[in-house]
Amino acid sequence: MKFLRLLLLLILLPYGQLKAQSLEDYKLWLDYSPVQNTDLAADYLKITRSIYVDDADPILAKAKNELTTALPQLLGKKLVFTNQILPENSLVIALYENLPKELKEQTKAEIENSTDEGFLIKSIDLKGKSKIIISAKKEIGILYGVFRFLHLMQSHQDLNAISIADSPKIDIRMLNHWDNLDRTVERGYAGFSLWNWQKLPDYIDERYIDYARANASIGINATALTNVNANALVLTPMYLEKVEALANVFRNYGIKVYLTARFSAPIEIGNLKTADPLDREVRKWWKDKAKEIYARIPDFGGFLVKANSEGQPGPQNYGRNHVDGANMMAEALKPYGGNVIWRAFVYSEHDDTDRAKQAYDEFLPYDGKFMDNVLVQVKNGPIDFQPREPFHPMFGALEKTPLVMEFQITQEYLGFSTHLVFLPKLFEEVLDSDTYRKGKGSTVAKVIDGSLYGNTLTGMAGVSNIGNDLNWTGHPFAQANWYGFGRLAWDPYLSSDNIAEEWIRATYSNDENFIQPVKKMMLTSREAVVNYMSPLGLHHIFDTGHHYGPGPWVDNLGRPDWNPVYYHKADSLGIGFDRTPTGSNATEQYADEVAKMFNDTDKIPERDLLWFHHLPWDYTLNNGETLWNGMALQYQEGVDQVEEMIRTWDSMKSFLTESQYNEVAMLLKIQLKEAKWWRDACLLYFQKFSDRPLPAGVEKPTQTLEHFKSLKFPFAPGIRPSWD
């Protein structure tokens, strides 16, 4: 045994060296470092002494592949597989239907309770021998189970008496890539699109496989490859052949491909004169298109559609409505089991209603009118992925329509890929919000997982933060947001605290002295960005187009609701958007209990204050400060929090390779610089209205307001391409 340990150490030495290179970041949370704790390693060696894996199917073969990749790295040994299930097996991985009777008996209850995607990992005793069984109803359950099993080893969990039965709580767990056919990515800050359309279908980049592995490891089972601001060309045979090649890769990891469907495609690529959803030829065109797609991709997921929103074509161009449009597509996809995911992110240039109210107003009347393979996808808040928004009033309001939660993982409004912001904290806040639609406890999570109204089809979508950067997400910690989104789509009741810990263990270290401070840093990071960008319910005060940096002064854009001044409404009297009954009355779209809370400055959480109220500069906050002073101090607190993050990271140096330390240290330095920019620019601007001095404790701005207003960023990344 001692010799084995020595061997282990020797074998594993070179990994340490490679760790020094940025390539390590490529491996995401699937980086299987050797288990250094020798007692634990001995346990794990025992558990993996003799393995049986059912691999009679492509998905099962991938599961086996994960074992043969990970275990030698974790344990430094070659694996012994048996061809059939034998009494000597210490680890048995097989579909439930293929288990021998005595193993079935010990797993039956859990398997029966699991869904088609669920799995069981259970330590059992058979004839005095202990073994671990990983089983499931279906192949994909086995793959998920294997990934979980490896994660448990990777995070040094005791597996001796393990019993985990887990099934996803949401059906469609999906990434939305806003990727264009020229490989630019709208709101992408991690390089460019992974999809190399030029080399597809014949060249399958290994990265497609690693993308699928990463997704499957956290249970993501769907991906929309293309931008919601869609190009119809992706529906032509030349591109469908390429999509098919990707689908062939992803299928073996349980991932279905969706495409964004441009509503005007029948005109643009179908030579029709109209895209009217009630036109016979148009309807036939979509049916033929669906048939063509399914001939290539039998498990095609369906269409994701942005229609009549921000200039995209839609049914309203022909005097029809969203139901007409969505159901037309749903009818075409229905015979093949495909879905339409129809986005509710709509607001009209011809409607001067508070933009926050428009989606609800437009969609509420349609509840119950969509076909059963239509889901309506709703952004987490009523405006647009701000650092903080109250939950979208559509959640809980529509009863018969399955609502897909749309989170934005890419940090369009949260510092691009240079700010460390742990988003599961934001996602958790939204999911835990109580809609009160069926009384107390009617949380958004319950809307999304279908339990509140008994919806049979459910979904959660995350706008991807993935690009072709070596480390996938631009910021190493942004990997945690991809990870965390996947985990919450699997189980929207998980805590952001647990997710952070899982990710830290899988990515960096199992040492508590690293885990605890870094977890704390992650968990406070979201509040930090709110503080230094838009505290107290401020929102959408970003510079135009690229949304990089502050632009609260912008007032010259074509539509009122494109201008920051529309949202903060700062004037000499005060600041904030009155959405109570004395204002836009957006609060009426919430359940009474919620509306009452939001309407009442005594009851509303202060974090949402200026979202719903226009208040005087000397309004008194809970902490006794005036609104002006409190706001200024909160901007300062955001900056202070980033400084604290830097101190935390600096104190972690001993756990990190030089490059692991450096890359995050450099990014935190940028974050601090930009946090100060936000603080200074916003306070200088708002000070013009408040006409009050900065309170003690707030650092003096280093530049003038004119300087901040003069900054131009013509090549900031992520802007919508010019051909759109």
The rounded distance, in Å, linking the Cα atoms of 435 and 446 is 10
Q: CB under 8 Å to 316, separation ≥6 — which residues?
A: 307, 308, 322
The rounded distance, in Å, linking the Cα atoms of 602 and 568 is 21
Minimum distance of a copy of itself from residue 448's CB (angstroms): 34
Contact between 187 and a copy of itself (CB under 8 A)? Answer: no
Orientation angle between helical segments 496-507 and 139-154, nearest 10 degrees: 70
- Residue range at the interface with a copy of itself (CB under 8 A); choices 199-207, 357-365, 452-460, 692-700: 199-207
Q: CB under 8 Å to 65, separation ≥6 — which residues?
A: none
Minimum distance of a copy of itself from residue 305's CB (angstroms): 22
Pick one of 365, 470, 493, 582: the residue that binds a copy of itself (CB under 8 A).
470
CB-wise, 22 or 157, nearer to a copy of itself?
22
The rounded distance, in Å, linking the Cα atoms of 114 and 111 is 5
Contact between 714 and a copy of itself (CB under 8 A)? Answer: yes
Contact between 203 and a copy of itself (CB under 8 A)? Answer: yes
The one-character DSSP state at 368 is T
The rounded distance, in Å, linking the Cα atoms of 495 and 675 is 27
Distance from chain centroid for Cα 154: 23
Pick one of 42, 72, 268, 438: the residue that binds a copy of itself (CB under 8 A).
72
Asked if residue 616 has a cis previous peptide bond (ω within 30° of 0), the answer is: no
Asked if residue 552 has a cis previous peptide bond (ω within 30° of 0), the answer is: no
Tokens of 305: 């559609």
Minimum distance of a copy of itself from residue 42's CB (angstroms): 19
Contact between 206 and a copy of itself (CB under 8 A)? Answer: yes
Is 674 annotated as catalytic? no
Choosing from 292, 310, 399, 511, the catalytic residue is: 310
CB-wise, 699 or 724, nearer to a copy of itself?
724
Q: Is 88 helix (H, G, I), strand (E, B) or coil?
A: coil
Binding residues among 640-669 for a copy of itself as defined by CB under 8 A: 659, 663, 666-667, 669
Minimum distance of a copy of itself from residue 715's CB (angstroms): 4
**Tokens 């631009």, residue?**
474
Pick one of 46, 400, 673, 707: the residue that binds a copy of itself (CB under 8 A).
673
Is 406 annotated as catalytic? no
Contact between 243 and a copy of itself (CB under 8 A)? Answer: no
Longest dimension (CA), the chain: 81
Minimum distance of a copy of itself from residue 201's CB (angstroms): 10
**Tokens 């004839």, residue?**
127
Contact between 3 and a copy of itself (CB under 8 A)? Answer: no
SS3 track for 609-634 = HHHHCCEECCCECCCCCEHHHHHHHH
CB-wise, 72 or 517, nearer to a copy of itself?
72
Minimum distance of a copy of itself from residue 404's CB (angstroms): 29
The answer to whether residues 598 and 608 touch, using CB atoms and an 8 Å cutoff, is yes
- Distance between terminal CA atoms of the chain? 64
Contact between 198 and a copy of itself (CB under 8 A)? Answer: yes
- Residue range at the interface with a copy of itself (CB under 8 A); choices 14-22, 118-126, 378-386, 688-696: 14-22
Helix (H) / strand (E) element for 404: namely strand 403-408
Is 24 annotated as catalytic? no
Binding residues among 357-416 for a copy of itself as defined by CB under 8 A: 416
Choosing from 412, 469, 637, 680, the catalytic residue is: 412
Contact between 232 and a copy of itself (CB under 8 A)? Answer: no
Phi/psi at 541 (5° precision): -105, 35
Helix (H) / strand (E) element for 592: namely helix 592-599
Minimum distance of a copy of itself from residue 272's CB (angstroms): 20
Minimum distance of a copy of itself from residue 711's CB (angstroms): 9
Pick one of 1, 3, 17, 710: the residue that binds a copy of itself (CB under 8 A).
17
CB-wise, 181 or 397, nearer to a copy of itself?
181
The rounded distance, in Å, linking the Cα atoms of 401 and 378 is 11
Catalytic positions, written as ranges: 310, 384, 412
* Residues in contact with a copy of itself by the rule CB under 8 A: 7, 10-15, 17-18, 21-23, 26, 72-73, 181-183, 189, 191-192, 197-199, 202-207, 233, 416-418, 468-470, 659, 663, 666-667, 669-670, 673, 714-717, 722-723
